Amino acid sequence: MRIKRISVFVLLMILCLSQEVICQEQKLIVYDYEQNLLDSIFVTYDSLTTSEFTSHNLGAFDSEIENLEESFPKQNIFPNSQFTFKRKVGDDFSVTSFPIRTSIKLFSIENDTLLDLCSGSLVGEKYVLTAAHCALLSGENEISFDSLYACPIFNDGSPNPHFECSHVQKVYFFDEWNLNTEDIAILELEELIGSRTGWLGIGFNDSEEYYLNNVHYKFSYPATSIPQVDPNEYNGDTLYYSYGKIDQILPDHLGATNVTGIPGESGSSIIRVEQGEVYRSFGVQSYSNDIKHSRINNWKYYAFKAVINNSIVHTFEEEYLGTKIYPNPTTGFFWIENLNKEKLKSIKVYDGFGRNINT
């Protein structure tokens, strides 16, 4: 596979001049399915920040928010835990309500056939948070499938008629990732399906108490029946939910002791819910045992935030370009840097209709 090398920065670099910010770099890899290219990306982040999050969005479909329980469960729970067995979402809730409608079923495509793969969560208009092993060969910077397909609230064996599905265009993941640490990725979709469904925020917090004292939810697509650990029968075509207390707060994982996941749930988010105020993912399921989730920490958060906010700046090194323009795209101010020794003679700016908008 041809590797195209580019240098990438985020706007946080401007703050690195301040003594209040300690900036470091983290390397991301992005694979483009259409161009069959693997790129290197370097994201700058503030290593001193202990907590931050992005905002959730209800989307344009409607303003209906599901009233999710915020107390720790006492029934239908795994033995010696405070986390429930899974139930069909449709038995208890409206599948089209928020935040349920941010749930994603992922398929691989082989010979024009959709095959069950993983779970995920919308975290932006066209971005899905999932596990890296759902898209990549284990521990490798190499894709597992030629094509991926994402459907919001796929249920009872069918896509939801109110929302469209989308092919995956790109996958962002961490260089030298592995199942024990960086098993987490962002998928960029071809279609802006999140504009209708809405999306979850993502976040991190260094405090253990922040996680221990709040209920967390999971919406996922279990695909295999394992009666020894879970009495339900699963085939991957229906959305399930579970919730409760997580008690394993580790540097790289969040989990619940004595709770067992099911194949197909990989990539599903651990979601903190504060009714009407917070709907936020803090990691994605990597292991079935103790439902261990690859935890979003400081540098993972800033890398994914840059992707979701589209604030990554590509600085191409070809000499004929002559200039560096960033951020691109932008909805506000931008910088133009001359890479040549000669002075720029003129600058002309045009809008999407070809009109000169120089002022």
Q: How many CB atoms are closer than 10 A to CB 55? A: 12
pLDDT band, very low/low/confident/very high, at 351 (cuts 50, 70, 90): very low
Tell me the CA distances in angstroms from 287 to 34, 122, 292, 297, one per residue in order: 30, 21, 5, 18
Residue 242, classified by CB atoms within 10 Å of its CB into exposed (0-12), middle (13-18) or buried (19+), is buried
Residue 217, classified by CB atoms within 10 Å of its CB into exposed (0-12), middle (13-18) or buried (19+), is buried
Average pLDDT, integer, range 237-244: 97
Q: What is the DSSP letter of 198?
A: -
Average pLDDT, integer, range 191-216: 96
pLDDT at residue 169 greater than cutoff 50: yes
pLDDT at residue 17 greater than cutoff 50: no
Q: How far apart are CA 293 and CA 240, in angstroms?
A: 17
pLDDT at residue 186 greater than cutoff 90: yes
Of 80-94, 148-162, 203-217, 326-340, least confident by mean pLDDT is 326-340
* Residue 176, φ and ψ in degrees, nearest 5: 60, 35
> For residue 158, what pLDDT is reported?
94
> For residue 312, what pLDDT is reported?
53
Of the candidates 359, 87, 118, 52, the one whose C-alpha atom is nearest the C-alpha of residue 241 is 87
pLDDT tens digit string along 119-131? 999 999 999 999 9
Average pLDDT, the chain: 86
Average pLDDT, integer, range 36-49: 86
Helix, coil or strand: residue 299:
helix
Q: What is the DSSP letter of 72?
A: P
Tell me the CA distances in angstroms from 175 to 145, 165, 178, 300, one per residue in order: 18, 28, 9, 12
> For residue 120, what pLDDT is reported?
98
Beta bridge partners of 249: 254
Q: What is the DSSP letter of 137?
A: -
Looking at per-residue pLDDT, the higher value among 297 and 15 belongs to 297
> For residue 335, what pLDDT is reported?
63
* Residue 161, φ and ψ in degrees, nearest 5: -65, -15
pLDDT tens digit string along 303-346? 999 999 875 544 433 333 456 665 555 555 566 666 666 666 66
Residues ≥6 apart with Cβ < 8 Å to 60: 195, 196
pLDDT at residue 15 greater than cutoff 50: no
pLDDT at residue 153 greater than cutoff 70: yes
Give residue 21's Cα distance to chain centre: 26
Give residue 308's Cα distance to chain centre: 8
Q: How many CB atoms are closer than 10 A to CB 340? A: 10
Q: How many CB atoms are closer than 10 A to CB 289? A: 12
pLDDT at residue 157 greater than cutoff 50: yes
> For residue 275, what pLDDT is reported?
87
pLDDT tens digit string along 103-120? 999 999 988 899 999 999
Q: How far apart are CA 63 and CA 192, in angstroms?
A: 18
Residue located via tokens 């989730």: 293
Q: How far apart are CA 306 and CA 283, in angstroms?
A: 17
On whether the CB atoms of residues 90 and 239 are closer than 8 A, the answer is: yes
Tell me the CA distances in angstroms from 17 to 7, 11, 21, 158, one per residue in order: 20, 12, 8, 52
Give residue 336's Cα distance to chain centre: 31
pLDDT at residue 12 greater than cutoff 50: no
pLDDT at residue 24 greater than cutoff 60: yes
pLDDT band, very low/low/confident/very high, at 193 (cuts 50, 70, 90): very high
Q: Which domains does the chain have, with CATH numbers?
A: 51-308 (2.40.10.10)
Of the candidates 174, 108, 186, the one whose C-alpha atom is nearest the C-alpha of residue 140 is 174
> For residue 20, what pLDDT is reported?
52
pLDDT at residue 3 greater than cutoff 50: no
Dmax (CA) of the chain: 74
Q: How many CB atoms are closer than 10 A to CB 341? A: 5
Tokens of 243: 């919730």
pLDDT at residue 354 greater than cutoff 70: no
